Amino acid sequence: MSKKTDSNSYTMIFAVIMVLLVGSVLAFFASSLKPNIDENKRIEKQQNILYAMGVNENDESSANFVSTDIAGDEFVKYIKKQIIIQGDKITEDNEAYLIDVKKQQANAKAGKERKLPLFVGEKDGQTFYVAPIRGKGLWDAIWGYVAMDQDMIVQGAYFDHKGETPGLGANIKQRYFMDDFIGEHLLDASGNFKGITVAKGNNDAINNDKEDHEVDAIAGATITGDGVSAMIKSDLRLYVSYFKTLKK
Amino acid sequence: MGLLSKKDAALLTDPLADNNPITIQVLGICSALAITAELKASIVMAVSVMFVLGLGNVVISLMRNIIPSKIRIIVQLIVVATLVIIVDLVLKAFAYELSKTLSVFVGLIITNCIIMGRFEAFALGNKPWRSFLDGIGNAVGYGVILIAVGFFRELLGSGTLLGFKVLGDPIEKTGLYAIGYENNGFMLLSPMALIVVGIIIWIQRSRNTSLIEEN
């Protein structure tokens, strides 16, 4: 049977029209919604940073951010200083939280000096230093924010991911995993950077030992867990020299 | 069923049992293995697929007379990808929290063979309303299996359901764990999902022997 839809010219014209139509529809949606999406992302960054330093609405077992309406005000209230570390140069910048860590990592690879944002927060008289980290999970990017005190002992952590497996790797953003990092030491006894490893079978499932540089891994999420270890090691190491200056 | 004729009702009910997309048509197996480690993920995926398949079937059915047969697969792929991306963008702009939960599923939905399978097998040859019913029916049939697999994998693998510790606490040794019960870590891995699906197929075929193929 021969229909008009079988001819080559019809197929070509159909393809061209379809591509143009779909392309412009998608472009329209993407560009008209972009301001909203960017705003949501900006608020989310503030919520993430606040979450890491303990400003959140956690209940017994689930992780909850401060609500989006107050995130901006809370951010100004708790974050006292935002600094950018670039080599030996340290500058203050109130928009440091908008720095794209991915871009900075690419810059570092290209041999340029990387900008390292660090957020200094204060809550109940305690000072927190929150640093962003970013790395690779099993399927896609993973990232997070780690709040430390001036001895680089973790005070809080928030992890997130783009597309880890639901129920397995995606559980890095669950309370039971993130909370294990609290109290862990990043530096060993002599002050060298050691990081924190997401370890299988470390016989410390409830994480009593805070100085073993290990937290218990998630079953079925080995590669995501390794990614978390790797991004902690590679990204937080860069802040060590800054923390040393705090001690002087 | 006053609203639906008998033939239309069958479109909804057949995929639930004797023409189930997973156990009989063998469509959508990949996602049934990938995301059923938790009950919640199974439910989210089931609802998302219902939405996309219902809508996608209607769109493809409306276009069925103008789609060139030589490039129909690409056209189907573009339609489903466009729908999913638009929904994702709208959610990102207006329901950011929800979109974070769903974003993982976006890629899985676009490449889910159940969607292409129903476009190809049904929507290309039927009217929009029937295609819509077929889409919903198949998505429900798919969702039922997904939820069953997710239920057993989460219960036996993590000892929880929807995150609630229904069997006690494995670390504090309460509930069942006090008498020596252990979670089966294998259940969290995809091969066990295939075995669970296999068991479901076994049960289904032993109850309805007409489904067994003659050799």
The domain total for chain A is 1
A119 beta partners: A82, A130
Rounded-to-integer distance, Cα B69 and Cα A7, Å: 10
Are A173 and A63 within 8 A, CB to CB? Answer: yes
Strand duo A141-148 + A126-136: pairing: antiparallel
Look up residue A151 and give its amino acid.
Answer: D
Average pLDDT of the residues in A4-23: 89
Copy the structure tokens of residue A170.
């995606």
- How far apart, in whole angstroms, are the C-alpha atoms of residue A82 and residue A96? 6
Instruction: Using a CB–CB cutoff of 8 Å, tell me whether B48 touches chain A.
Output: no
Q: Which of A40, A166, A220 sits opposite B104 (nearest CB)?
A: A166
Q: What is the pLDDT of residue A248?
A: 67
CA A230, A236, A238, A241 dihedral sign is negative
**Position B4 in a domain:** no
The yes-or-no verdict on residue A100 having pLDDT over 80 is yes
Looking at residue A135, its pLDDT comes to: 93
The whole-angstrom separation of Cα A154 and Cα A176 is 15
Task: Tell whether the model's pLDDT for residue A144 goes beyond 90.
Answer: yes
In a domain, B2, yes or no: no
Instruction: Tell me if A9 is assigned to some domain.
Output: no
* Domain assignment of residue A217, yes or no: yes
Q: Which residues of chain B have pLDDT under 70?
A: 1-3, 215
Q: Is residue A21 in some structural domain?
A: no
CA angle A133, A73, A124 (to 5 degrees): 75
**Nearest CB neighbour to B34, from listed A22, A29, A165:** A165
pLDDT at A108 over 80: yes
Looking at the structure of chain B, the number of domains it has is 1
Using an 8 Å CB-CB cutoff, list chain A residues near B186: none
Q: What is the ipTM of this complex?
A: 0.76
Q: Which domain holds residue A168?
A: 40-247
Listed in sequence order, the residues at least 6 apart from B94 whose beta carbon sits closer than 8 Å to its beta carbon are: A36
Beta strands in chain A (DSSP E): 79-86, 89-92, 116-123, 126-136, 141-148, 154-161, 197-199, 214-216
State yes or no: pLDDT of A2 exceeds 60.
Answer: no
* Average pLDDT score, chain A: 88
User: B67 in helix, strand or coil?
Assistant: coil
Instruction: Find the CB nearest B69 among A5, A25, A205.
Output: A5
Q: Please check the confidence at residue A217 and state whether its pLDDT lies above 60.
A: yes
pLDDT of residue A184 exceeding 80, the answer is yes
- Structural domain includes residue A172: yes
Residue A228 has pLDDT above 90, yes or no: yes
Chain B hits for A170, Cβ within 8 Å: 41, 104
Q: Are B159 and B184 contacting, i.e. CB atoms less than 8 angstroms apart?
A: no
Q: Tell whether the model's pLDDT for residue A223 goes beyond 90.
A: yes
Q: What is the pLDDT of residues A52-70, one digit of tens each?
A: 988 888 877 778 888 888 8
Q: Is the pLDDT at A99 greater than 60, yes or no? A: yes
The per-residue pLDDT for B170 is 75
In the block, which residue shows the tokens 């004729």? Answer: B5
DSSP run (H or E) holding B165: strand B164-165
Q: Is residue B160 part of a domain?
A: yes
pLDDT at residue B2 in the model: 55
pLDDT at A204: 72
What's the domain range around B40? 24-202
B191 interfaces chain A, CB cutoff of 8 Å: no
Testing the interface with A: which of B31, B100, B104 to mutate, by most A Cβ within 10 A? B104
Has residue B11 been placed in a domain? no
| Domain membership flag for residue B155 | yes
Closest approach of A125 to chain B, Cα-based (Å): 31
B9 inside domain: no
Nearest to B78 among A22, A61, A166 (CB): A22
Q: Which residues contact B51 (CB under 8 A, 6 or more apart)?
A: B87
Distance CA A236, CA A140 (A): 20
CB contact under 8 A, A163 and B103: yes
Q: Which of B97, B115, B98 is nearest to B44 (CA)?
A: B98
pLDDT attached to residue A91: 87
Which helix (DSSP H) or strand (DSSP E) does residue B157 occupy?
A: helix B128-158
Is B174 inside a domain boundary? Answer: yes
Q: What is the pLDDT of residue B1?
A: 44
**Cβ-based neighbours of A56, under 8 Å, separated by 6 or more:** A50, A63, A64, A65, A66
Partner residue opposite A18 with nearest CB, options B78, B92, B93:
B78
**Mean pLDDT score, A128-152:** 92
pLDDT at A49: 92
Distances (CA, A) of B69 to A214, B62, B73, B114, B125: 57, 15, 8, 20, 12
Which chain B residue is nearest to residue A175, measuring alpha carbons? B163
CB contact under 8 A, A14 and B65: no
Cβ of residue B182 closer than 8 Å to a chain A Cβ? no
Is A13 contained in some domain? no
Contacts of B35 in chain A (CB under 8 A): 165-167
Instruction: Please give the biggest Cα pair distance in chain A.
Output: 86
Closest among B94, B129, B101, B91 to B43, alpha carbons compared: B101
Of residues B28 and A147, more confidence is placed in: A147
- Answer yes or no: is A63 within a domain: yes
Contact A54, A154 (CB under 8 A): no
Q: Which residue of A has its CA nearest to B69?
A: A6
Which residues in A lie closer than 8 A to residue B40 (C-beta atoms)? 167
Mean pLDDT of the region A114-122: 90
Task: Kindly indicate the confidence band of residue A1, based on its pLDDT and cuts at 50, 70 and 90.
Answer: very low
* B117 occurs within a structural domain: yes
Q: Which amino acid is at A55?
A: V
Q: Do B105 and A166 touch (CB under 8 A)?
A: yes
- Which contiguous run of DSSP H or E holds residue A176? helix A175-178
Q: Select from A14, A22, A164 the Cβ nearest to the Cβ of B68.
A: A14
Assigned domain for A12 exists: no
pLDDT of residue A3: 63
CA distance A12 to chain B (A): 9
Torsion sign across C-alpha atoms B156, B158, B164, B165: positive
Instruction: Assign 3-class secondary structure to A136-153.
Output: ECCCCEEEEEEEECCCCE
* Helix, strand, coil % over all residues of chain A, rounded to 5: 45, 25, 35
